[in-house]
């Protein structure tokens, strides 16, 4: 059996067509802008799926670039995430205190004495989400809740008697 480079049998065996610098790339391949190797199109992530445009860097080079960028800017990433967590937590605290208890009407309670009572389809605990997720995700979860004080929340959900 004669297997030519770039044939379907070659690809099935796991070989990738690689062309010499300056030569024409094989059909269905693209040259990575970083490593300058012609690779199959599947080796490139989508830049714009709707327009069918692939990224200039192959997935492997992009992974190496992203890791190097993260390592070089680790402090900025830590600071940005800490600021986001602080901002989301402060928002949740203010949200609770401004609304007070929906059942008994008390407005003088601190945020830690107020709970979010999910009305339907709970995705996550808002306290945990406020330290992990973006404000938009937390707001979608808050929209499913009512703010009630801890006492009223326990009265809404009495323990099951065994």
Residue 147 has phi, psi (to 5 degrees) of -90, 125
What's residue 109's pLDDT?
94
- pLDDT, residue 71, reads 96
In this prediction, residue 160 carries a pLDDT of 77
- CA-to-CA distance for 72 and 69, rounded, in angstroms? 5
Name the one residue in this structure whose structure tokens are 């802008």. Answer: 33
Q: Token match 């406020």: residue?
A: 130
Q: Which pLDDT does position 26 carry in this prediction? A: 61
Q: Quick check: 17 and 6 in contact, CB under 8 A?
A: yes
Euclidean distance between CA atoms 149 and 101, whole angstroms: 5
- Determine the average pLDDT of the residues in 18-25: 49
Q: Specify the pLDDT at position 12.
A: 52
- Determine contact, residues 12/35, Cβ cutoff 8 Å: no
For residue 4 the two structure tokens come to 């030519």
pLDDT digits (tens, 9 = 90+) for 28-53: 899 999 999 999 999 999 999 999 99
Model pTM? 0.64
Token pair in block for residue 16: 């990738």
Q: How many residues does the chain have?
A: 162
Tell me the torsion sign for CA atoms 46, 47, 49, 52: negative
Q: What is the dihedral of CA 149, 110, 89, 141, to 10 degrees?
A: 20
């Amino acid at each position: 059996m004669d297997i030519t480079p770039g044939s379907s049998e070659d690809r099935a065996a796991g070989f990738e067509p690689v062309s010499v610098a300056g030569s024409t790339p094989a059909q269905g391949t693209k040259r990575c802008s970083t490593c300058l190797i012609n690779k199959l199109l599947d080796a490139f992530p989508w830049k714009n799926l709707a327009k069918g445009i692939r990224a200039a860097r192959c997935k492997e080079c992009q992974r190496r670039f992203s890791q190097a960028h993260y390592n070089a800017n680790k402090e900025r990433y830590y600071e940005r995430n800490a600021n986001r967590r602080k901002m989301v937590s402060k928002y949740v605290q203010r949200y609770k205190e401004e609304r007070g208890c929906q059942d008994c009407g008390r407005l003088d309670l601190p945020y830690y004495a107020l709970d979010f009572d999910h009305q339907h389809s709970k995705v996550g605990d808002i306290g945990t989400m406020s330290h992990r997720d973006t404000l938009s995700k937390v707001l979608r979860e808050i929209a499913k809740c009512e703010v009630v004080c801890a006492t009223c929340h326990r009265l809404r959900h009495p323990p099951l008697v065994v």
